[in-house]
Structure 1
């Protein structure tokens, strides 16, 4: 792949869905350059959040993950939150206002993994 030096990936409004999230997560698992992923408005659901959670478990450089205007749901939020238990990087999640209920869940997993 020719993405060795890319630091930011923006795929806004491309409707990549869960399968696209899976492909991208697989490619970026061991990438040491990407710090920002912008996947807003891409029809990513709980399954796609699971793939991105797997990415977060192994990728140590990702700092910003924009999942605004997707359909990740509560289970998807749990996948992302659980990934933080295995990652020492503080990742900022950007979510839709309709997903704000997931933030306490993600914060709890993050705080428990650091200070619990």
Structure 2
């Protein structure tokens, strides 16, 4: 099972781990993270620009201060990853979907 969400509630992560244990399947906690906060902000802006160029609306209108929201989320996620030693952190490169996928598979497979 893959849960591709920004999960900042440890209780829900623990529930997922419990469900995996109950089903007797492995549970791998992976945190996808940009290498730096600045990189996360640039990625957000690049994605926003790419969507705008294609005519697809970006949900940023729902966030009053997007830089502040990204900063808070990035710091919380970084802190959460440090508090959970079983979590594996995968720093990704923007646009390298295949490379990120390969790295994720290696983490899940324990290689």
TM-score norm. by structure 2 comes to: 0.29
Taking structure 1 as the reference length, the TM-score comes to 0.28
More helix by share: 2
